[in-house]
């Protein structure tokens, strides 16, 4: 008999009263909130946390949680004109980060623990919008898999994962190739020169046509990030000045995480969404 389980819990870390579900599969645990269907923690082993949550994150008053894995949908970043025909003031990264989602399925087996959240689209400011979004979290002993699904319609989406690191100065993400748009340089297009990206300044890059697998390596350990259904991966670290400007991040908080985001950003397709990010701990490095 396994001790695999799903348990409801009120609050996680300093986020008192936040409604959460704790999943356990063998030694692995994950914590996800129904607010934003927001993953807050993934520990493949008891003492190993892979996800960063800002100690200054808040969730009341329509604020998205800083850290974890925010779900960006149905647009990414500031809403493009296609999503915003009336040029309204719209939230960054869409509308589902600050909504409560419904749990529609839970299952616990010997090998996998799974929970599925769903949210129906409220009135969106544009036509040709999809009607729902669902997020499935699958936890096994070997990996955590997040999957976003929705029906047809114009939509962008991202699993905006914040990975915790010992020091941003000792992190690299590989294997990167091809073109990227550099949002730090007004979206200008560049070609990646090295297969590895190291963080030495603000990074906000949209890599187009990225590999299906990326590796986040730091001094002591490594994490594999496998993706499907994406047309881009976004790498982000706000660095010193932007971190200081973010109210819900400590000034030196930028040292403690990098974001590796699996995204679908195309504005020229209305195909149903199926976006997957799988996180696998590769363990201690020799």
Q: Which residue is nearest to ligand G6P (CB)?
A: 236
Question: Which one, of 31, 37, 30, lies nearest residue 11 by Cα?
Answer: 31
- Joined together, the tokens standing for residue 32 give 């996800």
CA gap 231, 208 in Å, rounded: 6
Q: Give the H or E element holding residue 244.
A: helix 239-245
Q: Does 204 bind ligand G6P (CB under 6 A)?
A: yes
Q: Does 236 bind ligand G6P (CB under 6 A)?
A: yes
Give the nearer residue to ligand G6P in terms of CB position, either 204 or 256.
204
Q: Does 183 bind ligand G6P (CB under 6 A)?
A: yes
Residues contacting ligand G6P: total by CB under 6 A = 10
- Joined together, the tokens standing for residue 194 give 């090295």
The per-residue DSSP string of 198-211 comes to E-SS-EEEEEET--
Choice from 139, 168, 234, 275 touching ligand G6P (CB under 6 A): 234
* The pairing of beta strand 71-72 with beta strand 38-43: unpaired
Question: Is 160 one of the catalytic residues?
Answer: yes
Q: Which residues pair with 274 in a beta bridge?
A: 149
Q: Does 264 bind ligand G6P (CB under 6 A)?
A: no
Q: Does 63 bind ligand G6P (CB under 6 A)?
A: no
Choice from 40, 232, 259, 265 touching ligand G6P (CB under 6 A): 259
Q: Does 77 bind ligand G6P (CB under 6 A)?
A: yes
Q: Which residues of 30-45 are buried (b: 16+ CB within 10 A; e: fewer)?
A: bbbbbbbbbbbbbbbe
Give the nearer residue to ligand G6P in terms of CB position, either 101 or 162.
162
From the list 38, 93, 116, 160, the catalytic residue is: 160
- In angstroms, give the least distance from the CB of 95 to ligand G6P: 12
Half-sphere exposure of 191 (CA within 13 A, CB side): 2
The torsion angles phi and psi of 40, rounded to 5 degrees, stand at: -115, -25
Q: Does 250 bind ligand G6P (CB under 6 A)?
A: no
Q: Which residues pair with 106 in a beta bridge?
A: 115
Give the nearer residue to ligand G6P in terms of CB position, either 26 or 125.
125
Tell me the C-alpha to C-alpha distance, in Å, between residue 284 and each of 213, 218, 242.
19, 10, 31
- In angstroms, give the least distance from the CB of 283 to ligand G6P: 27
- In angstroms, give the least distance from the CB of 5 to ligand G6P: 31
The footprint of ligand G6P (CB under 6 A) covers 64, 77, 92-93, 183, 204, 234, 236, 259, 261
Query: Which are the catalytic amino acids?
Result: 160, 261
């Amino acid at each position: 008999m396994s001790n695999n389980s799903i348990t409801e819990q009120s609050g996680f870390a300093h986020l008192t009263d936040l409604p959460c579900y704790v999943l356990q599969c063998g030694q692995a645990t994950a914590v996800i909130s129904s607010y934003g269907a927001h993953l807050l923690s993934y520990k493949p082993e008891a003492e190993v946390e892979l996800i960063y949550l800002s100690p200054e994150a808040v969730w009341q008053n329509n604020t998205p949680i800083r850290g974890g894995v925010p779900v960006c949908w149905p647009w990414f970043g500031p809403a493009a004109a296609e999503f915003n025909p009336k040029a309204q003031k719209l939230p960054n990264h869409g509308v589902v980060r600050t909504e409560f989602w419904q749990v529609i399925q839970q299952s616990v087996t010997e090998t996998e623990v799974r929970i599925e959240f769903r949210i129906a689209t409220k009135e969106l400011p544009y036509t040709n919008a999809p009607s729902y979004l669902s997020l499935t979290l699958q936890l096994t002993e070997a990996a955590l898999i997040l999957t976003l699904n929705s029906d047809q319609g114009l939509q962008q989406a991202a699993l905006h994962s914040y990975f915790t690191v010992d020091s941003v100065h000792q992190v690299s993400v590989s294997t990167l190739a091809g073109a990227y748009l550099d949002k730090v340089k007004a979206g200008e297009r560049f070609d990646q020169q090295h297969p590895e990206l190291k963080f030495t300044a603000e990074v906000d890059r949209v890599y187009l046509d990225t590999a299906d697998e990326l590796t986040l390596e730091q001094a002591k350990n490594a994490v594999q990030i496998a993706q499907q259904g994406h047309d881009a991966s976004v790498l982000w670290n706000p660095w010193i000045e932007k971190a200081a400007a973010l109210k819900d991040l400590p000034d030196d908080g930028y040292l403690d995480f990098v974001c590796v985001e699996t995204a679908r950003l195309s504005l020229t397709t209305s195909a149903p969404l199926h976006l997957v990010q799988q996180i696998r701990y590769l363990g201690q490095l020799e």
